[in-house]
Structure 1
Amino acid sequence: MTLDDWLDLAALILILVGALLCLTAAIGLLRFRDVPSRLHAATKPQVLGVILICLAVALSLRSWPVVAFLVPIVLIQLATAPLSAHVVGRQAYRNGTIDETGLFVDDLAESRRTPPASGG
């Protein structure tokens, strides 16, 4: 086997693993019951799956312009997925849709007890 064949095989394996991770993220998003578990499923395996698929595309096409196009995709995924999960988790906490008995540490409990400042 030549080097090109090995790189194509590695790209195939990375595509399959990345697609499997994205599929498990989607299944976890549908099957998990509480918000923290759904957020975990929506961020961690999905971002890793997208990174592996981008790496496979870069290996398959073997072109620097393609790599330059894929790097911002990966960086945007790494920046937006945790941020959106944080915002959704905080809003779920404020709405009371999180089972607070399952939390080990409740860092927001103090902010919940204090009344908001009046604007007048």
Structure 2
Amino acid sequence: MNEILDVAALVLILMGALLCLTAAIGVLRFRDVPSRLHAATKPQVLGLMLICLAIALSLRSWPVVAFLVPIVLIQLATAPLSAHMVGRQAYRNGTIDEGGLHVDELAESKRTPPAAGG
């Protein structure tokens, strides 16, 4: 049984590392901000989750699981938030192609100054 769990941990580590690598390549290769944000958040978070699961399987200790769960939860909470803030700032700077947006919910806020209360 220990060998099966070790092999599963090895496979999960490799899959997580591959996802993290594809996230890094995507951040470097994609041209626009939304594509880069997608590459920076989705595969990176899943890769981290797989690596944490592999560590928990490999060490087989409840204190390790108790340490890894908050790490995953914090990553799940902060990755979308940081991507949202970077995307909004890119929109405000004008570095996002507005023609490629299907729905532009911020168009009205762009016309109204932030201090105008609207």
- TM-score, scaled relative to structure 1: 0.94
1:110 to 99, 108, 115: 108
Whole-angstrom CA distance in 2 between matches of 1:58 and 1:116? 47
What is residue 76 of structure 1 aligned with on the other side? 74
What is residue 47 of structure 2 aligned with on the other side? 49
Unaligned 5+ runs, structure 1: none
Q: How far off its partner does 1:118 sit?
A: 5.3
Give the counterpart letter for 1:113 in structure 2.
Answer: R
Whole-angstrom CA distance in 2 between matches of 1:40 and 1:59? 28
Q: 1:43-78, CA deviations, whole angstroms, 9 ceiling, x for partnerless residues?
A: 000000000000000000000000001001101100
Give the counterpart letter for 1:56 in structure 2.
Answer: A
Q: How far off its partner does 1:116 sit?
A: 3.6
Q: Calculate the aligned-residue CA RMSD, in Å.
A: 1.2
Q: Does 1:95 align with 2:111?
A: no
Whole-angstrom CA distance in 2 between matches of 1:21 and 1:118? 44
What's the secondary structure of 1:104's corresponding residue? coil
What is residue 24 of structure 1 aligned with on the other side? 22
Q: 1:8-64, CA deviations, whole angstroms, 9 ceiling, x for partnerless residues?
A: 111000000000000000000000000000000000000000000000000000000
What's the secondary structure of 2:90's corresponding residue? helix
Aligned length: 117
